[in-house]
Amino acid sequence: MWTLFTDRGRLGAATALLAALVLSGCASKGGLGLEGSGEGGTSKYEQQKDGGAAADSDAIHIPPVPHHPKVEKIAEQAMAEYARALQARMAGNDKQALVMFRSLSERFPQLSGPALNVGLIYMEQEDYPKAQQAFEQSLAINDANPYAHNGLGLALREQGKFDDARIHYERALVLDPKYARAHFNMAVLAELYLQDLNLALKHFQAYQNLQKQPDENVANWIVDLQRRAPESPPSQWQTRMPGTRMEN
């Protein structure tokens, strides 16, 4: 199961935000995203590794993507075709969308968004080496794109490159400390693959604090990590949801 890369409600406003999306590459197909999938992991929460047991993020903050002002004129030229490519993705026609995003990437090499969307499609197809290549291409264009760092972290994680994945999640969060999904992905990586419970706790709490409404499943994970993590401080979720626990 995939969870959202951008919030479902905001995705409906993609047309209004199109100029920004062309620059940032932060648009995603409805209902799909970059939280990742894949087997393995040691958590007793079977679905935690792919976000399947957590509700879709309702964080209202959209991480900005710094860019050079000259890129805006180039984005205007690509806008109409980029919109059609996004529509193809949202309609489930990833084959057509992949061709369109590749074409955009070749003809507008100053934009990081097309390459990022190529990476998203390859992630959905579970072709992680090609996804990694596309995200790296996006970052070669704009290393300040937090979405591309987050995506690259996921592609690396799925290939067992956990330390490298952490580097890119951290980079995404340096660029924007309020990037909720990067916190979520870092927390999953920390618990399941790095076995760093304190790090997982820190980032699940950060993710939870960015939600408009607390995610009850994430709250349960926080409670459990508080119990298992060495020298972890008391959490508001222990008081808020005493004794609650997810099924094994």
Q: According to the model, what pLDDT value does residue 68 have?
A: 81
Q: According to the model, what pLDDT value does residue 70 have?
A: 85
Q: According to the model, what pLDDT value does residue 60 have?
A: 87
Instruction: Report the C-alpha gap between 180 and 214 in whole angstroms.
Output: 13
The answer for residues whose C-beta is within 8 angstroms of residue 37's C-beta and 6 or more apart is 1, 2, 49, 50, 126, 158
Q: pLDDT by residue for the chain (248 residues), tens digit each? A: 223 233 222 333 333 334 344 444 444 343 333 333 233 333 444 455 454 456 678 888 889 888 888 888 899 899 999 999 999 999 999 999 999 999 999 999 999 999 999 999 999 999 999 999 999 999 999 999 999 999 999 999 999 999 999 999 999 999 999 999 999 999 999 999 999 999 999 999 999 999 999 999 999 999 999 999 887 555 454 434 333 333 32
Answer yes or no: pTM beyond 0.75: yes
Q: According to the model, what pLDDT value does residue 234 have?
A: 54
Secondary structure tally for the chain: helices H, strands E: 12, 0
Q: According to the model, what pLDDT value does residue 53 have?
A: 55
Q: According to the model, what pLDDT value does residue 233 have?
A: 56
Buried b (16+ CB within 10 A) or exposed e, 48-61: bbbbebbebbbbee
Instruction: Report the C-alpha gap between 64 and 186 in whole angstroms.
Output: 19
The answer for residues whose C-beta is within 8 angstroms of residue 168's C-beta and 6 or more apart is 149, 150, 152, 153, 156
Q: According to the model, what pLDDT value does residue 56 have?
A: 72
Q: According to the model, what pLDDT value does residue 45 have?
A: 45
Closest CA to 85 of 59, 121, 128: 121
Alpha-helical segments (H) within 91-127: 94-107, 113-124
Q: According to the model, what pLDDT value does residue 106 have?
A: 96
